[in-house]
């Protein structure tokens, strides 16, 4: 685990001009240290919690963080267990509910530290959106607005992946990561490969844990919660057509916007797609 160095981190991810309002914390939960960061302007419109996706970390949200801070929002974010500067086996999780519990712990920490804003929204990308689904179902929803971006319900070609997982079983512990072309921004794709907080081996146990979580989704109750969903129509990381239908069935009061030519990494797409994504998010937050 690398040691967090604030100035190097903020400079590397292009957030050094926000250093005066940046704070970080190690939140201890379930024998793990969850690494969290906040950017809290004294005068702000509202607060937004950001939840990154699988294999990513809070620094992956740097462009979104910069955009929201420039509009006057306060930001809370954290690295999922096994990601970034949080403790845990790299990229692994025993139970998907552990992610949801980490979110509960982070929210409780900041409430206890005096952040009592009545307007507090959440944005989850991919696996981050799946975590929000669990959070809603836990019955302790403390967010005013819920935004899911490229939400994970099931991955692309999931039926083939399930067969592969069963064939391999639990004898193989890791496989080599293949970096997906999940954005049209070539600079971003290179940046990810060079990012020291990314990792090159994928634990197959994560897929077993995901399969257990996915098998219980059919029992998810229909909810009156209204989601705001943004989805790129060129996404081949998640099975977006299935996922959107599923979410709109379970959350029938929700809205979904398809971003034309958008791939999975909508926050890190080429300028025109990324800015359109940010426009929709900020419009919804301002409603």
**Averages of pLDDT over each 10 residues, the chain, 287 residues:** 89 97 93 94 97 97 98 98 95 94 95 93 98 90 93 85 63 80 97 94 89 90 95 97 97 97 98 98 96
- DSSP code for 218: G
Tokens 């696996």, residue? Answer: 127
Q: Which candidate, 210, 86, 220, 61, places its Cα nearest to that of 147? A: 61
List own/partner pairs for 172-181 with CB under 8 A and 24 or more apart: 172/204, 173/203, 173/204, 173/205, 174/201, 174/202, 174/203, 174/204, 175/201, 175/202, 175/204, 176/200, 176/201, 176/202, 177/55, 177/201, 177/202, 180/236, 180/237, 180/264, 181/263
Q: Kindly report the pTM of this predicted structure.
A: 0.95
Torsion of Cα atoms, 63 then 48 then 262 then 16, to 10° = 0
* CATH top class, domain 6-286: alpha beta
Report the SS3 class of residue 231: strand
Spell out the domain ranges in the chain: 6-286
């Amino acid at each position: 685990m690398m040691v967090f160095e604030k100035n190097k981190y903020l400079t590397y991810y292009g957030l050094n001009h926000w250093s005066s309002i940046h704070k970080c914390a190690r939140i201890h939960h379930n024998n793990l240290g969850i690494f969290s960061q906040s950017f809290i302007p004294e005068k702000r419109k509202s607060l937004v919690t950001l939840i990154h996706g699988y294999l990513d970390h809070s620094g992956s949200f740097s462009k979104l963080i910069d955009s929201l801070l420039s509009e006057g929002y306060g930001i809370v974010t954290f690295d999922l267990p096994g990601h970034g500067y949080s403790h845990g086996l790299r990229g692994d999780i025993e139970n998907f509910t552990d992610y949801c519990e980490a979110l509960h712990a982070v929210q409780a920490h900041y409430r206890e530290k005096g952040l009592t804003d009545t307007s507090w929204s959440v944005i989850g990308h991919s696996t981050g959106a799946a975590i929000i689904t669990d959070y809603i179902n836990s019955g302790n929803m403390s967010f005013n607005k819920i935004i899911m971006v490229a939400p994970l319900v099931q991955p692309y070609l999931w039926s083939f992946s399930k067969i592969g997982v069963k064939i391999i079983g639990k004898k193989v512990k890791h496989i080599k990561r293949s970096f997906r072309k999940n954005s049209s921004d070539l600079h971003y794709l290179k940046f990810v490969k060079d990012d020291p907080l990314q990792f090159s081996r994928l634990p197959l146990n994560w897929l077993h844990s995901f399969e257990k979580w996915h098998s219980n989704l059919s029992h998810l109750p229909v909810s009156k919660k209204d989601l705001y969903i943004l989805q790129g129509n060129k996404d081949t990381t998640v099975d977006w057509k299935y996922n959107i239908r599923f979410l709109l069935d379970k959350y029938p009061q929700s809205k979904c916007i398809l971003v034309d030519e958008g791939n999975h990494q909508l926050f890190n797409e080429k300028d025109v797609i990324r800015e359109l994504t940010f426009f929709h998010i900020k419009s919804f937050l301002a409603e």
